[in-house]
Amino acid sequence: MSFRKVNLTILVLAVVLFLLVLHHNFLGLSSLLRNEVSDSGIVGLQPIDFVPKAPQHAVDQRQEEIPVVIAASEDRLGGAIAAINSIQHNTHSNVIFYIVALNNTADHLRSWLNSDSLKSIRYKIVHFDTKLLEGKVKEDPDQVESMKPLTFARFYLPILVPSAKKAIYMDDDVIVQGDILALFNTPLKPGHAAAFSEDCDSASTKVVIRGAGNQYNYIGYLDYKKERIRKLSMKASTCSFNPGVFVANLTEWKRQNITNQLEKWMKLNVEEGLYSRSLAGSITTPPLLIVFYQQHSTIDPMWNVRHLGSSAGKRYSPQFIKAAKLLHWNGHFKPWGRTASYMDIWEKWYIPDPTGKFSLIRRYMEISNIK
């Protein structure tokens, strides 16, 4: 009888010991997971939020996933929200948004995306570590893009969307009026890692920047006085393209080490100053122009109707604006700002910030404040 009691005691102790070990391992795993979420990672791009099962509006989950990458900086967050909302409401496709942000924006963005109007959106917030740009970008107040690290997120697409074979990148100053599936299905030629809208296409008028020359060829972006640029044998008159909207073949992108190539030219520009300073000091477009010289496909021009932000006036007819698949306010005049063209179209897709941190700047508000 005592022998049975000893066995029972040993068994109980063994069970207790097993439960203690299991509990300890569980705590260790939880700690590890917490560290993985908070750690920015070696490459500097780390998911910090993921909503994989948000309720869908008549979306067939069997459809191919369409990854859409968009950068969301704190001072332009309303733009990203409007762009995302317009995409979601004009498609029945299985879209997932990869929203690239800095750490100080994540909570604000998450609270905005929890609004009732946006709850059907599937998204992943990805932290962008600015250490990635060390030695590749030199901050210069005269070059606005150098002060905005998220503008370079597009260079790192395979890391942002590691499991995808194809993805769409969009700037935050766009509104989508067509079905994003059509853009995603843009055919890319063999060996091409991306498809852009060229600046010489029929839909986008050639824009002349005051005192800066034409914004539609390579000489507007690259300094052809530099020997390194001349050695590339790229024609200065070659039509440039707009990198604010493009479709990427990520398999080909990785095969050609596009990200490494872009970083190479970023570093060389810091050392030698290879880019033209005439066109608003762009430092995002030039490396893309070099790497994709005569090696890119084209998207339908109606999927990047741009220059809406180049002036406060309306440059296109109402019929043309209505027919456009995507409207792009590239330029100084943003639709959330004081003065911009076609603001009424943009505001249709804007969702007010529930936290009140972001607000539209409007002339009538300034007038009422004066009164």
Q: Which of 69-83, 146-160, 354-368 has the lowest mean pLDDT?
A: 354-368
Query: Could you give the domains of the chain?
Result: 66-348 (3.90.550.10)
User: Which residues lie below 8 Å from residue 69, measured CB to CB, with a gap of 6+?
Assistant: 97, 98, 100, 153, 154, 157, 160, 161, 167, 168, 169, 170
| Residue 50 scores a pLDDT above 70 | no
pLDDT band at 334 (very low <50, low <70, confident <90, very high): very high
Going by the DSSP 8-state scheme, the letter that residue 305 receives in this structure is B
User: Is the pLDDT higher at 282 or at 233?
Assistant: 233
The reported pLDDT for the residue numbered 80 is 98
> 174-176 and 241-249 as β-strands: parallel, antiparallel, unpaired?
unpaired
- Residue 368: strand, helix, or coil: helix
> pLDDT (tens digit, 9 = 90+) per residue, 1-18?
555 555 666 666 666 566
Q: Which of 36-50, 149-163, 290-304 has the lowest mean pLDDT?
A: 36-50
> pLDDT (tens digit, 9 = 90+) per residue, 270-296?
999 999 877 556 889 999 999 999 999
The reported pLDDT for the residue numbered 54 is 52
pLDDT band at 209 (very low <50, low <70, confident <90, very high): very low
The reported pLDDT for the residue numbered 101 is 96
- Residue 290: strand, helix, or coil: helix
Residue 226 identity (one-letter amino acid): K
Q: Which of 26-30, 162-166, 192-196, 295-299 has the lowest mean pLDDT?
A: 26-30
What the block records as the tokens of 55 is 């309720």
- Residue 283: strand, helix, or coil: coil
Between the CA of residue 300 and those of 10, 185, 201, 355, what are the distances in Å? Answer: 75, 11, 9, 38
| Residue 63 scores a pLDDT above 90 | no
Q: Which of 30-34, 123-127, 214-218, 300-304 has the lowest mean pLDDT?
A: 30-34
Q: Which of 10-19, 196-205, 259-268, 315-324 has the lowest mean pLDDT?
A: 10-19
Question: Are 118 and 207 within 8 A, CB to CB?
Answer: no
The reported pLDDT for the residue numbered 139 is 79
Provide the mean pLDDT of the chain. 83
What the block records as the tokens of 96 is 């997932």
Q: Average pLDDT in the 138-166 region?
A: 86
> pLDDT (tens digit, 9 = 90+) per residue, 67-85?
999 999 999 999 999 999 9
Q: Average pLDDT in the 166-184 region?
A: 98
Pick from 259, 41, 68, 261: which is nearest to 161 by CA? Answer: 68
The reported pLDDT for the residue numbered 57 is 54
The reported pLDDT for the residue numbered 223 is 94
Between the CA of residue 144 and those of 175, 283, 329, what are the distances in Å? Answer: 23, 9, 16
| Residue 88 scores a pLDDT above 90 | yes
CA angle 107, 109, 111 (to 5 degrees): 70
Q: Average pLDDT in the 159-167 region?
A: 96
The reported pLDDT for the residue numbered 313 is 77
| Confidence (pTM) | 0.83
The reported pLDDT for the residue numbered 58 is 55
| Residue 337 scores a pLDDT above 80 | yes
Between the CA of residue 149 and those of 6, 92, 101, 290, 322, what are the distances in Å? Answer: 68, 33, 10, 20, 33
H helix or E strand, kind and range, residue 57: none
For residue 36, the tally of other CB atoms under 10 A from its CB is 12
> pLDDT (tens digit, 9 = 90+) per residue, 177-194?
999 999 999 999 999 999
Residues in the chain: 371
> pLDDT (tens digit, 9 = 90+) per residue, 246-257?
999 999 999 999
| Residue 39 scores a pLDDT above 50 | no
Q: Average pLDDT in the 37-42 region?
A: 30
